[in-house]
């Protein structure tokens, strides 16, 4: 699941703007202008929901992943 999720995340974010990816020993972190807006740790995806608050994306919300990624990206730019 994680490889497909990473591919979908990269494909979506490559269409909307510049994103920095940082690999850690636990997973991948996503940044916009040095602001953390998402992370994928141990097959769990967390996205910026409100200023400085990452929230785990549930399985049922994965169907709206593109919208959620774009929203988190925009939120990170507004902070």
pTM reported for the whole predicted model: 0.84
pLDDT confidence tier of residue 42, bands split at 50, 70 and 90: confident
Show me where the domains of the chain are located.
2-78
Q: How many CA atoms lie within 13 A of 79 on its CB side?
A: 19
Statement: residue 31 has pLDDT above 70: yes
Superfamily covering domain 2-78: YgaC/TfoX-N like chaperone (3.30.1460.30)
Mean pLDDT along residues 24-47: 91
Mean pLDDT along residues 68-76: 91
pLDDT, averaged across the chain: 87
The CA–CA distances, whole Å, from 3 to 10, 42, 52, 79 equal 11, 12, 26, 30
3-state SS string for the chain: CHHHHHHHHHHHHHCCCCCEEEECCCEEEEEECCEEEEEEECCEEEEEEECCEEEECCHHHHHHHHHHHHHHHHHHHHC
């Amino acid at each position: 699941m994680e490889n497909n999720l990473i591919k979908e995340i990269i494909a979506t974010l490559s269409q909307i703007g510049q994103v920095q990816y940082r690999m850690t020993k636990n997973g991948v972190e996503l940044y916009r202008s040095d602001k953390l807006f998402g992370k994928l740790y141990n097959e769990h995806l967390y996205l910026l929901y409100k200023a400085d608050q990452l929230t785990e994306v549930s399985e049922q919300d994965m169907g709206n992943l593109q919208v959620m990624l774009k929203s988190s990206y925009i939120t990170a730019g507004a902070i």
